[in-house]
Amino acid sequence: MFSATTRIVAAAAVFVAVAAAGLGLPGAIAQEISQEQLDRVAAALPEAPTAQPAQARKLLIFTLCQGFYHDAIPIGTKAFEMMGEKTGAYEAVVSDDIEVFAPDALAQFDAVCFMNTTGTLFERADLRESLMAFVKGGKGVVGVHAATDCFYDWAEFGEMMGGYFDGHPWSAADTVHVKLDDAAHPLNRAFDGMGFAVTDEIYQFREPYSRETLRVLASLDTAKTDMTKDGIKRTDGDFAISWCRAFGEGRVFYCSLGHNWEIFWNPQVLQHYLDGIQFAMGDLAVDTTPSAQLSAEAVEQSQAEATARALEDWLAALAAYDYGDNDAALHALADYGAAVIRKPAEREALATGLAAVIGREDASDAARLFAAKQLLEVCPALTQPGTAAPLLADPDLSETVRYALERNEDPVVGRVLMRALRSANDPMVRVGLIHALGHRR
């Protein structure tokens, strides 16, 4: 359809040659995407759209670079194409032809995705006016990673996108920690209310970046990340990772993750992008109130709500778990348990949920054993006879719980062990309990 359209075709190996004239680079760049990498993308894709499209949607993925060329462009483009096809959320059209921004051509799309684009992509005033009219008139824009490294000579683009790239103190080899600034926000649902670690190139931004205009969704967790890197310019500790905003009648979603290829087979990040795309297209309505206008109480409430929903989902997944199943929820519960060990209210909610899983007759031995092990992390709950005694009397769980309790010097534990001994019917369980009591003298 467009004279310079770049198509990426899945095969055992995919080679994409991009003309140097379109990249500002000498020679030609050849990219190879292996079948193994495509399989990783396919396995990580969301199963369905978060919101059912109101109508057939079309996404323009624009890949032109006039500055630095990111070699993740082909894999990112293919991932987004596959995501639209699998979920039915949209049809993707890929192009690096600037004529696609002419009003008549652009009108067919619901949103434009700038896929790691860099430099001044076009100077023509008519095309710039067309893009602004497209977004302000009610359509959407999605920015991936280097989309903030564009159009430094066009202030309105920077305002629309939300900021300009100002260096990356954290390189592609650095593992950083990300916190959720708005944990309950629908565009953050992929992360289950929890921050996460990621290895990728992390940007910092300069004006017009501001929380006065943007709803910041996630940002660098400076308490857990190396802040001694050269090139750090911001003094306020505000290193946003993703955000959304209203722009005129339209919508903008940006996420800086996307330098490394692995980002495009990360299930959580792909879900985050899908939700951002659906927001930009108008199918997923979300609150875009700028972060600076939110009260501390509202942010705290958002985190509490997101955590409660996530905990409920994790426990439900644990209750249905058996050996060989997807264990993502188990890892999430373990991380959450470590995070709340010194938070009594949250710890008690976790302990109650784990005890409920243990008490379910339909739960597998694998689920109940994992729940018992996690319950050991909240020992105050285990010292309650009504909680610990049934676990100690259970042949499948007794050894795990007993080994933890017999080293606990709390006098209550002795009484718990005695109560379990009186109720245990299994001979080996009784022997183990007697041994634990002997160990405690």
- Residue 387 binned pLDDT confidence (cut-offs 50, 70, 90): low
Calculate the alpha carbon distances from 62 to 12, 17, 38, 100 in Å: 25, 16, 20, 9
Query: Which of residues 404 and 288 earns the better pLDDT score?
Result: 288
Output the DSSP codes for 234-298.
-SS---EEEEEEEETTEEEEEE---SSGGGGG-HHHHHHHHHHHHHHHTSS------GGGS-HHH
Helix axes 73-87, 35-44, angle to 10 degrees: 50
Q: H or E segment at 423?
A: helix 411-423
Least confident of 201-210, 213-222, 328-337: 328-337
Task: State the pLDDT confidence band at 382, using cuts at 50, 70 and 90.
Answer: low
| Whole-number Å distance between alpha carbons of 401 and 132 | 63
Residue 219, φ and ψ in degrees, nearest 5: -150, 170
Backbone angles phi, psi at 92, to 5 degrees: -100, 140
**What is the three-class DSSP state of 177?**
strand
CA angle centred on 41, ends 333 and 87, rounded to 5°: 85
Over residues 11-25, mean pLDDT: 35
Q: For residue 29, what pLDDT is reported?
A: 46
Cα–Cα separations (whole angstroms), residue 439 to 218, 415, 433, 436 = 49, 14, 10, 5
Q: Does residue 225 have a pLDDT over 60?
A: yes
Whose CA is closest to 303, among 326, 336, 265?
Answer: 336
CA distances from 214 to 112, 217, 289, 366 (A): 19, 9, 8, 45
pTM attached to this predicted model: 0.73
Q: Residue 79 and residue 97: Cα distance in Å, rounded?
A: 20
Burial 176-188 (b: 16+ CB within 10 A, else e): bebbbbbbbbbbb
pLDDT digits (tens, 9 = 90+) for 296-305: 777 777 777 7
Closest by Cα among 375, 372, 383 to 412: 383
What is the reported pLDDT for 22?
37
Average pLDDT over residues 105-112: 98
Percent of the chain scoring above 90 in pLDDT: 59
**pLDDT of 264:** 98
pLDDT of residue 54: 95
pLDDT of residue 11: 33
Q: How far apart are CA 238 and CA 219, in angstroms?
A: 7
Pairwise CA distance, residues 204 & 190, whole Å = 23
Q: What is the mean pLDDT of the chain?
A: 86
Name the H helices within 143-191: 155-161
Count Cα atoms within 13 angstroms, Cβ side, for 314. 27
